[in-house]
Amino acid sequence: MPSARRAQYLRTIGIDRWVRRTAFEEAAAVTLESSVPAGETAARQGPGDPAQETIESRWRRLRAEVLECTKCPLHQGRTQGVVGVGNQEADWMVIGEAPGAEEDRRGEPFVGRAGQLLDAMLRSIGLNRDSNVYIANILKSRPPGNRDPRPEEVAACLPYLLRQIELVRPKLLLAVGRIAAQNLLSTDAPLMRLRGRVHHFGERNTPLVVTYHPAYLLRSPADKRKAWEDLKFARSVMADLSTDGECS
């Protein structure tokens, strides 16, 4: 990426110059659907068997289930369920907390001011929600008043996210914000203790990096530099993963 353009993105997220770096409970009771590699179908008998579905039809079914979901009371006050957005075969997957008012209205995660900041953060490391990243939330329905998700709401929604992760098969997960990180990592550790190192998630042991939620950064711009350090760290982790893949 040209240095002038990267500098513009960094200014957008509140970083004036480059700084060299001197780094719930997972749903154990949730059973994922059988894994089907991208572009393939499983040769099993029985019409209508989910294992015979293409990846595209599995995405359509997941979307329909989210839009029609009544597993928790949140569906009563939402405009619509918010599934996800981006490249469904992306190496990067960004996971946030829950839809807000604008997300609920538009049916897309991370829109409005927080979404604009997230887009600038992603662009600063060469990512774009339309081409090489997939974005989703822990919850698919908006909590009233943008309150924190309740454990029973996360329990109801988490299987949808696990299916999204299984379908995308990202190389790296980027958890934005305390709520997303704590639920994905089954911990109550504060965000500061979770940042700066590689965690792992799920049966595929997918690497996971934690950073701040853009809505928090709008309220606390002094921490944008720390978020930039997190993004550079995530980029280096992905570079290492890509190098390992080429060598294997």
CA distance 141 to 98: 7
| pLDDT tens readout for residues 150-162 | 999 999 999 999 9
């090489």: which residue's tokens? Answer: 132
Quick one: pLDDT at residue 7? Answer: 64
Per-residue tokens: 212: 């701040």
Long-range contacts of 144-153 (CB under 8 A, 24+ apart): 144/77, 146/98, 146/100, 146/101, 148/97, 148/179, 149/97, 149/98, 149/179, 149/183, 151/24, 152/72, 153/72, 153/74
Q: Tell me which residue of 150, 141, 158, 159 sits closest to 98, measured CA to CA.
A: 141
Quick one: pLDDT at residue 179? Answer: 96
- What pTM did the predictor assign? 0.82
SS3 126: coil
Query: Please, what is the angle between helix 112-123 and helix 3-12, to 10°?
Result: 150
Q: Are 146 and 215 a contacting pair, CB within 8 Å?
A: no
CA distance 135 to 138: 10
Quick one: pLDDT at residue 125? Answer: 97
Domains annotated on the chain, with CATH: 53-247 (3.40.470.10)
Quick one: pLDDT at residue 243? Answer: 84
Sign of CA dihedral 33, 37, 41, 42: negative
Quick one: pLDDT at residue 126? Answer: 96
Quick one: pLDDT at residue 26? Answer: 44
Report which DSSP code applies to 208: E
Averages of pLDDT over each 10 residues, the chain, 248 residues: 61 55 39 39 42 86 97 95 97 97 95 95 96 97 94 96 98 98 97 98 96 98 98 98 72
Quick one: pLDDT at residue 31? Answer: 32
176 pairs with which residues across the strands?
A: 211
Per-residue tokens: 84: 């996800």
Quick one: pLDDT at residue 55? Answer: 94
Q: Are strands 172-176 and 92-96 parallel, antiparallel or unpaired?
A: parallel
